[in-house]
Amino acid sequence: MTNSTLSPIHIIGGGLAGSEAAWQAAEAGVPVILHEMRGVRGTDAHKTDGLAELVCSNSFRSDDATANAVGVIHAEMRLAGSLVMACADKHQVPAGGALAVDRDGFSEAVTAAIQQHPLITVTREEVTGLPPEEWDLAIIATGPLTSPALAEAIREKTGTDALAFFDAIAPIVHTDSINMDICWFQSRYDKVGPGGTGKDYINCPLDETQYNAFIDALIEGDAVGFKEWEGTPYFDGCLPIEVMAERGRETLRHGPMKPMGLTNAHNPTVKPYAVVQLRQDNALGTLYNMVGFQTKLRYGAQAEIFRMIPGLENAEFARLGGLHRNTYIHSPTLLDRSLQLRARPGLRFAGQITGCEGYVESASIGLLAGRFAAAQRKGETISIPPATTALGSLLNHITGGHIVSDEEPGKRSFQPMNINFGLFPELEPGSIVKPEGIKRFRGKDKTIMKRQLIAARALEHCKTWLGAA
Ligand SMILES: Cc1cc2nc3c(=O)[nH]c(=O)nc-3n(C[C@H](O)[C@H](O)[C@H](O)COP(=O)(O)OP(=O)(O)OC[C@H]3O[C@@H](n4cnc5c(N)ncnc54)[C@H](O)[C@@H]3O)c2cc1C
**Which structural domain range is residue 192 located in?**
168-325
Shortest-distance Cα residue to atom 4 of ligand 1: 56
Report pLDDT for 161: 79
- The answer to whether residues 19 and 155 belong to one domain is yes
Report pLDDT for 442: 84
**CB-side neighbour CA atoms (13 Å) of 174:** 19
Residue 429 included in any domain: no
Asked if residues 419 and 458 have their Cβ atoms less than 8 Å apart, the reply is no
- The answer to whether residues 319 and 361 belong to one domain is no
Report pLDDT for 88: 97
Q: What are phi and psi of 16, to 5 degrees?
A: -60, -45
**Ligand 1 centroid distance, CA of 246 (Å):** 33
- The answer to whether residues 46 and 189 belong to one domain is no
Query: CA-CA distance, 202 to 173, in Å (whole number)?
Result: 11
Cβ neighbourhood burial of 89 (10 Å; 0-12, 13-18, 19+): middle
Report pLDDT for 410: 45
- Convert the pLDDT of each residue in 109-130 to its tens digit: 999 999 999 999 999 999 999 9
CATH code (residue 288):
2.40.30.260
**Pocket of ligand 1, candidates 40, 74, 142: which has the most ligand atoms within 8 Å of its Cβ, to mutate?**
142
- CA dihedral over 315, 316, 319, 322, signed as positive or negative: positive
Residue 55 included in any domain: yes
**Pocket of ligand 1, candidates 82, 228, 352, 360: which has the most ligand atoms within 8 Å of its Cβ, to mutate?**
352
Q: What are phi and psi of 184, to 5 degrees?
A: -150, 160
Question: Closest Cα partner for 338 from 281, 391, 283?
Answer: 391
CATH code (residue 19):
3.50.50.60
Report pLDDT for 126: 98
- The answer to whether residues 357 and 235 belong to one domain is no
Asked if residues 340 and 179 have their Cβ atoms less than 8 Å apart, the reply is no
Phi and psi based region of residue 188 (left: phi greater than 0; alpha: psi -120 to 50; beta: remaining) = beta
Which domain-ending residue is among 300, 325, 350?
325
Which domain-ending residue is among 273, 303, 325?
325
Residue 147 included in any domain: yes
Residue 122 CB less than 6 A away from ligand 1:
no
- Convert the pLDDT of each residue in 284-304 to its tens digit: 899 999 998 999 999 999 999
Residue 269 included in any domain: yes
**Ligand 1 centroid distance, CA of 55 (Å):** 7
Query: CA-CA distance, 181 to 158, in Å (whole number)?
Result: 44
- The answer to whether residues 266 and 133 belong to one domain is no
**Ligand 1 centroid distance, CA of 143 (Å):** 4
- The answer to whether residues 364 and 282 belong to one domain is no
Query: CA-CA distance, 225 to 432, in Å (whole number)?
Result: 43
- The answer to whether residues 321 and 335 belong to one domain is no
State the closest ligand 1 atom to the C-alpha of 16, by its place in the atom list counted from 1. 25
Predicted confidence band at 402 (pLDDT cuts at 50, 70, 90)?
Answer: confident
Residue 146 CB less than 6 A away from ligand 1:
yes
Residue length of the chain: 469
How many domains would you assign to the chain?
2
Which domain-ending residue is among 276, 299, 325?
325
**Ligand 1 centroid distance, CA of 464 (Å):** 31
Residue 453 included in any domain: no
**Ligand 1 centroid distance, CA of 15 (Å):** 6
State the closest ligand 1 atom to the C-alpha of 35, by its place in the atom list counted from 1. 43
**Ligand 1 centroid distance, CA of 225 (Å):** 20
Residue 144 CB less than 6 A away from ligand 1:
yes
Assess whether pLDDT exceeds 70 at residue 275.
yes
**Ligand 1 centroid distance, CA of 95 (Å):** 23
- The answer to whether residues 180 and 66 belong to one domain is no
Report pLDDT for 175: 95
Assess whether pLDDT exceeds 60 at residue 341.
yes
Q: In this structure, which amino acid lies at residue 199? A: K
- The answer to whether residues 32 and 124 belong to one domain is yes
Task: Compute the average pLDDT of residues 201-225.
Answer: 94
Task: Compute the average pLDDT of residues 444-453.
Answer: 92
The lowest-confidence range among 6-10, 140-144, 163-167, 380-384 is: 163-167
Rounded to 10°, the helix 299-306/208-220 angle is 170
Shortest-distance Cα residue to atom 8 of ligand 1: 57
Residue 142 CB less than 6 A away from ligand 1:
yes
- The answer to whether residues 204 and 100 belong to one domain is no
Predicted confidence band at 177 (pLDDT cuts at 50, 70, 90)?
Answer: very high
**Ligand 1 centroid distance, CA of 352 (Å):** 7
Report pLDDT for 451: 95
Residue 448 included in any domain: no
Report pLDDT for 196: 75
Question: Closest Cα partner for 76 from 463, 467, 447, 469?
Answer: 463
- Convert the pLDDT of each residue in 413-432 to its tens digit: 788 899 999 999 999 988 98
Q: In this structure, which amino acid lies at residue 153? A: A
Predicted confidence band at 239 (pLDDT cuts at 50, 70, 90)?
Answer: confident
- The answer to whether residues 54 and 93 belong to one domain is yes
State the closest ligand 1 atom to the C-alpha of 53, by its place in the atom list counted from 1. 29
Three-state secondary-structure class, residue 458: helix
- The answer to whether residues 304 and 351 belong to one domain is no
Shortest-distance Cα residue to atom 15 of ligand 1: 358
**Ligand 1 centroid distance, CA of 17 (Å):** 9
**Ligand 1 centroid distance, CA of 128 (Å):** 17
